[in-house]
């Protein structure tokens, strides 16, 4: 085994001119897969992080009233039930999402907001620290008349942190109301989640819209630690069904709407929705991108296999006499196979290490470029940049994929080399 | 005795001269003067939305009212891109018709009309007396008009503005109106400098609605966004019943 390894290593160095092209091909394939996989992972992570804050966590529970707006009359009851579940490490928080004719006005400029969200800052402030703030931040938002807005909205209003903004909003009964808000933070987010969304104190918003005292639109939950695995949504749904009137678990938003539309009920009926249900449509885009990545990876692996097969065919042909000599002095057929597989394996490992390193280097370089100018792409960016994400296991997988491809490709020529009879090999003219 | 009675009469006359009028009755008169309960009403409204430094957008609409049945219909005639769009109100139901999607959607009289500062409720009958209660009054000179200023607070949440202030001239016509949010923020100011008489009723010749919150600094001065509504071709001719229907809007749009 040891001598086979040494011979294989020696052969690699002797044939380095021939193997160089093959090594470059493997390294290139590895680098490309690393870059695409790493950036896709980062983009998916950024999307999830943004969506989590927008939707109030890894999951949320909406209060549905028949043919009326969402409302949970008693959020503490639901929150207590969620937090007291044994083995359910979760941090929950109530929210109000409000969309009724919301305008922000400052210095003669007026901006129509898609939505204003009331947040319980005592519970959620630390989540909002992860925003990329142009100025200000979420500190001191709890119980105040502060507001956080996106940089594009601040630019349209011509407002800076500390300015008094006028919020114009319809109450729950449709009357126009107004409130003076202090701009406490401007965050950089021009994605669909951040652009026309603003965040303010839940109690202040509820009072401004004359909402039901203590009520919320939904309760969101952030998993802590391994909560997602320890208490999957299906289990949470089953548990909640024992204590609350629930709609079945929806996999997409449209599922939930169709469930709501197909029945009538009295009071509040809850619906549990995971983050993936909210971002199902965007996930489809990510899935298409993943499929494209898989196709690219398959193409690269096929190229590597072809390269290895062709190279080893030539190598076997060129080294027929050498194989014959080795077989003549006692090398067994399995040893010949191992020799060629060792060569291919070592080549694949070395090239993969270089490829992954180059790929990671390229990812680091890529993460310094600001892509926020790309329209509609901001949802996949963290602070305007691609935040690549690749677990060590994933990096090993890329290298392993190339190794397996190289070994599989080399096994055929290796078997052919082992089948050569010594007499026949030695009589061949090289 | 005669002297005593004469003195009493003089005191009574003087007291009645200086006494405040019945403001609730005044509001009812205001409503009655601009509401057409005894006939149908139609007119052409030109709505110019003016944003300082950005020019103006004009909309021409035909408006048909049957106030006694709480019905009205607005058909957009211009611009060409919005032609066929319509608003239909029958009692408490209010629909917006989009000729492109050929669909009716529910809307509200509180919504802005064609993205202007006018609300859909600005085109219908006046209901100050039933929708508001008077919270304060005082006398004020408004240009050439001697006016009573009435502070009103909504008694229901069906109106566009929770707080309104009216300047009513001695001929019981509203000359100026200020609309406030529920928390007392001024939102818009409407001026009605002149009216035209139609039958025994009145219709503004023009209305200027100032958006108190939006505008732009032009040549160093802050100029508010404003909407100018000009009303022409007023008529009291009877309108066919079929006019106040969804089918009519669909037919007109074709």
Q: Give pLDDT tens digits for A187-235.
A: 887 666 777 789 999 999 999 999 999 999 999 998 887 666 667 888 8
Question: In this complex, is the C-beta atom of B216 within 8 Å of any C-beta atom belonging to chain A?
Answer: yes
The answer to whether B110 contacts A170, with C-beta atoms less than 8 Å apart, is: yes
Whether A257 and A286 share a structural domain: no
Angle at B77 between CA B73 and CA B80, to 5 degrees: 140
Nearest Cα residue to B248 out of B95, B143, B30: B95
Backbone angles phi, psi at A191, to 5 degrees: -80, 175
Beta-carbon neighbour count of residue B134 at 10 Å?
A: 16
The verdict on residue B84 lying in a domain is yes
Instruction: Write out chain B residues lying below 8 Å of A165, CB-based.
Output: none
Whether A83 and A159 share a structural domain: yes
Structure tokens at A73: 């009359």
B195-224 confidence digits (pLDDT tens)? 999 988 999 999 999 998 888 888 888 888
Whether A229 and A299 share a structural domain: no
Q: What three-state secondary structure class fits A356?
A: helix
Angle at B8 between CA B7 and CA B9, to 5 degrees: 90
Confidence category of residue B7, pLDDT binned at 50, 70, 90 = low
Cα-to-chain-centroid distance, residue A346: 33
Helix ranges (H only) for A15-69 are 16-55
Beta-carbon neighbour count of residue B243 at 10 Å?
A: 18
Whether A16 and A67 share a structural domain: no
Whether A258 and A341 share a structural domain: no
Task: Give me the residue label for tokens 């993205």.
Answer: B115
Whether A123 and A236 share a structural domain: yes
Instruction: Write out chain A residues lying below 8 Å of B213, CB-based.
Output: 105, 108, 110, 166, 168
Q: CA quadruple A351, A356, A357, A362: dihedral positive or negative?
A: positive
A396-428 confidence digits (pLDDT tens)? 888 888 888 888 888 888 888 888 777 776 666
Confidence category of residue A94, pLDDT binned at 50, 70, 90 = very high
Whether A273 and A342 share a structural domain: no
Structure tokens at A242: 């024992």
Rounded to 10 degrees, what is the CA torsion of A105, A107, A108, A110? Answer: -30
Question: In this complex, is the C-beta atom of B187 within 8 Å of any C-beta atom belonging to chain A?
Answer: yes
B134-161 confidence digits (pLDDT tens)? 999 999 999 899 999 999 999 988 788 8
A319-359 confidence digits (pLDDT tens)? 777 778 877 887 788 888 888 888 888 888 999 999 999 99
Whether A17 and A71 share a structural domain: no
A106/A159 Cα distance (integer angstroms): 7
Q: Which helix (H) or strand (E) holds A103?
A: strand A102-106
Chains A–B, number of C-beta pairs less than 8 Å apart: 53
Q: For chain A, what is the largest distance between any 2 Cα atoms, rounded to a whole number of angstroms?
A: 101
Nearest by CB to residue A175, choosing from B162, B222, B224, is: B162
The answer to whether A178 contacts B181, with C-beta atoms less than 8 Å apart, is: yes
Structure tokens at B46: 């030109």
Q: How many domains does chain A have?
A: 2
Range of the domain at A362: 2-50+281-427
Whether A17 and A106 share a structural domain: no
Evaluate whether B186 touches A178 at the Cβ level (below 8 Å).
no
- Angle of helix A392-418 relative to helix A16-55, nearest 10 degrees, comes to 150
Evaluate whether A230 touches A89 at the Cβ level (below 8 Å).
yes
Range of the domain at B32: 20-253
Q: For chain B, what is the largest distance between any 2 Cα atoms, rounded to a whole number of angstroms?
A: 82
Task: Give the residues across from A246 on adjacent strands.
Answer: A270
Q: How many domains does chain B have?
A: 1
Task: Return all residues near B189 (Cβ < 8 A) that are at least 6 apart.
Answer: B176, B177, B178, B179, B209, B210, B212
Instruction: Write out chain A residues lying below 8 Å of B154, CB-based.
Output: 175
- Give B93→chain A minimum CA distance, Å: 15
The CATH number for B151's domain is 2.50.20.10
Structure tokens at A254: 């449209």
The verdict on residue B211 lying in a domain is yes
- Give A210→chain B minimum CA distance, Å: 10
Whether A126 and A269 share a structural domain: yes
The verdict on residue B165 lying in a domain is yes
Whether A45 and A99 share a structural domain: no
B72-90 confidence digits (pLDDT tens)? 899 999 888 888 888 998 8
The answer to whether A108 contacts B224, with C-beta atoms less than 8 Å apart, is: yes
Helix ranges (H only) for chain B are 2-18, 23-34, 128-131, 246-253
């Amino acid at each position: 085994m040891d001598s086979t390894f040494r011979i294989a290593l020696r052969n690699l160095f002797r044939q380095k001119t021939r193997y160089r092209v093959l090594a470059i091909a493997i390294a290139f394939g590895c680098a490309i897969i690393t870059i695409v996989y790493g950036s896709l992972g980062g983009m998916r992570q950024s999307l999830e992080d943004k969506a989590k804050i927008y939707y109030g966590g890894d999951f949320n529970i909406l209060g549905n009233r028949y043919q009326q707006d969402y409302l949970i009359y008693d959020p503490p009851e639901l929150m207590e039930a969620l937090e007291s579940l044994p083995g359910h490490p979760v941090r929950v928080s109530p929210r109000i999402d409000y969309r009724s004719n919301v305008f922000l006005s400052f210095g003669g400029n007026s901006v129509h907001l898609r939505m204003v969200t009331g947040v319980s800052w005592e519970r959620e402030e630390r989540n909002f620290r992860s925003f990329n703030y142009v100025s200000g931040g979420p500190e001191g938002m709890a119980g105040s008349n502060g507001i956080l807005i996106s940089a594009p909205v601040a630019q349209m209003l011509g407002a800076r942190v500390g300015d008094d903004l006028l919020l114009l909003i319809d109450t729950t009964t449709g009357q126009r109301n107004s409130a003076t808000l202090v701009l406490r933070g401007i965050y950089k987010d021009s994605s669909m989640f951040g652009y026309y969304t603003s965040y303010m104190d839940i109690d202040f918003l509820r009072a401004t819209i004359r909402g039901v005292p203590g009520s919320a639109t939904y309760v969101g939950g952030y998993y802590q630690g391994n909560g997602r695995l320890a208490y999957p949504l299906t289990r949470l749904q089953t548990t909640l069904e024992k204590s609350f009137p629930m709609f079945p678990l929806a996999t997409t938003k449209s599922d939930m709407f169709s469930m709501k539309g197909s029945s009538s009920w009295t009071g509040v009926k809850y619906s549990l929705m995971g983050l993936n249900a909210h971002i199902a449509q965007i996930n489809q885009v990510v899935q298409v991108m993943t499929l494209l990545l898989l196709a690219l990876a398959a193409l690269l692996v096929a190229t590597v296999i072809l390269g290895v097969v062709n190279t080893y065919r030539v190598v076997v042909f060129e080294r027929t006499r050498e194989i014959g000599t080795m077989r003549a002095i006692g090398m067994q057929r399995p040893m010949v196979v191992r020799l060629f597989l060792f060569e291919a394996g070592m080549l694949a490992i070395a090239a993969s290490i270089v490829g992954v390193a180059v790929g990671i280097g390229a990812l680091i370089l890529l993460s310094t470029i600001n892509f926020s100018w790309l329209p509609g792409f901001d949802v996949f960016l963290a602070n305007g940049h691609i935040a690549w994400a690749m677990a060590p296991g994933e990096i090993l997988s890329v290298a392993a994929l190339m190794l397996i491809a190289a070994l599989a490709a080399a096994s055929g020529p290796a078997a052919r080399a082992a089948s050569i009879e010594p007499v026949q090999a030695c009589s061949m003219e090289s | 005795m005669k002297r005593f009675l004469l003195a009493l009469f003089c005191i009574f006359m003087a007291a009645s001269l200086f006494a405040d009028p019945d403001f609730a009755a005044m509001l009812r008169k205001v409503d009655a003067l601009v509401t057409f309960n005894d006939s149908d009403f139609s007119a052409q409204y030109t709505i110019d939305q003016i944003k300082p430094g950005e020019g103006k957008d004009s909309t021409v609409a035909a408006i048909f009212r049957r106030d006694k049945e709480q019905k009205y219909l607005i058909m957009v005639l211009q611009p060409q891109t919005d032609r066929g769009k319509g608003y239909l109100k029958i009692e408490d139901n209010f629909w917006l018709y989009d000729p492109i999607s050929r669909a009716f959607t529910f809307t509200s009289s509180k919504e802005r009309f064609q993205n202007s500062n006018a609300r859909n409720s600005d085109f219908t009958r006046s209901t100050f007396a039933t929708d508001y209660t008077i919270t304060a009054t005082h006398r004020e000179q408004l240009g050439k008009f001697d006016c009573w200023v009435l502070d009103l607070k909504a008694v229901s949440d069906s109106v566009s503005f929770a707080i309104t202030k009216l300047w009513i001239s001695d001929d019981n016509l509203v000359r100026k109106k200020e609309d406030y949010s529920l928390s007392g923020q001024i939102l818009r100011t409407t001026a009605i400098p002149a009216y035209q008489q139609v039958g025994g009723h009145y219709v503004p010749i023009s209305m200027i609605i100032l958006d108190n919150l939006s505008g732009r600094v032009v040549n160093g001065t802050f100029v508010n966004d404003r909407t100018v509504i000009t009303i022409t071709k007023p008529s009291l001719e009877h309108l066919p019943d079929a006019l106040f229907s969804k089918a009519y809007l669909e037919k007109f749009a074709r």
